[in-house]
Structures are given as structure tokens and as C-alpha cells.
């Protein structure tokens, strides 16, 4: 996932640099050098952004799983003791 997002952002930067270079009338060599530089920089930025997104998503999913597991444990303990279990969704 990280490499895919980074590659997409890198290609977006590359194509944007080429279009801007053509519109401004730069020399082809200048356009290519700048486009490759921007593509590499956008690739690095994309990798960092994708990694941060992955960590945020992972942490949220772990938090939800722990809350759900705690609800299940409480329900099992209540069932073992013969108490009624309140049907409440996991806190979000």
C-alpha cells in the first residue's frame, strides 16, 4: 500500500512538472531534469504520507478491536455468572 500510494504521488508530480514546463516554454532537457527531481521528491513525500496513514489506520483498528474484545469478555463473564447482559455497542 505504501509503495503504491508513493508511486502514484510521484507520477502525479512528474506529470505536473512536465505540463508546467511545456506551458512555460522551457527547454526539453530542463523539463526532464526538473520533472525527475520533482518525481523523486514527491515519491519520498508520498511514502511518508502513506506510512503515517497506515499507522493511523492500524492504531484505530487496534483500538476498536480491543474495545470489542473487552465487550465480549464482559459478556462472557456476565453469562457465566447468570447476569443479564446489556446490549451496548463498543464505545467509539
The three grid cell numbers given for residue 80, joined into one nine-digit string: 457465566
Angle (CA) 30-36-42 rounded to 5° is 130
Q: In the predicted model, what is the mean pLDDT of the chain?
A: 89
Enter the pTM of the model. 0.68
92 vs 71: CA distance, rounded Å:
12
Contacts of 79 (CB under 8 A, 6+ apart): 85
Domain boundaries along the sequence of the chain: 2-81
Please state, for a pLDDT cut of 90, what percent of the chain lies above it.
Answer: 75
pLDDT tens profile 53-89? 999 999 999 999 999 999 999 888 888 887 655 555 6
pLDDT digits (tens, 9 = 90+) for 12-55: 999 999 999 999 999 999 999 999 999 999 999 999 999 999 99
**pLDDT (0 to 100) of residue 1:** 79
Amino acid at each position: 500500500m505504501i509503495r503504491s500510494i508513493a508511486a502514484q504521488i510521484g507520477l502525479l508530480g512528474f506529470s505536473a512538472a512536465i505540463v508546467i514546463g511545456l506551458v512555460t516554454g522551457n527547454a526539453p532537457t530542463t523539463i526532464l531534469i526538473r520533472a525527475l527531481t520533482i518525481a523523486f521528491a514527491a515519491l519520498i513525500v508520498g511514502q511518508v504520507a502513506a506510512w503515517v496513514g497506515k499507522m493511523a489506520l492500524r492504531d484505530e483498528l487496534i483500538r476498536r478491536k480491543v474495545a470489542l474484545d473487552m465487550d465480549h469478555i464482559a459478556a462472557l463473564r456476565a453469562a457465566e455468572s447468570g447476569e443479564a447482559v446489556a446490549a451496548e455497542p463498543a464505545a467509539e
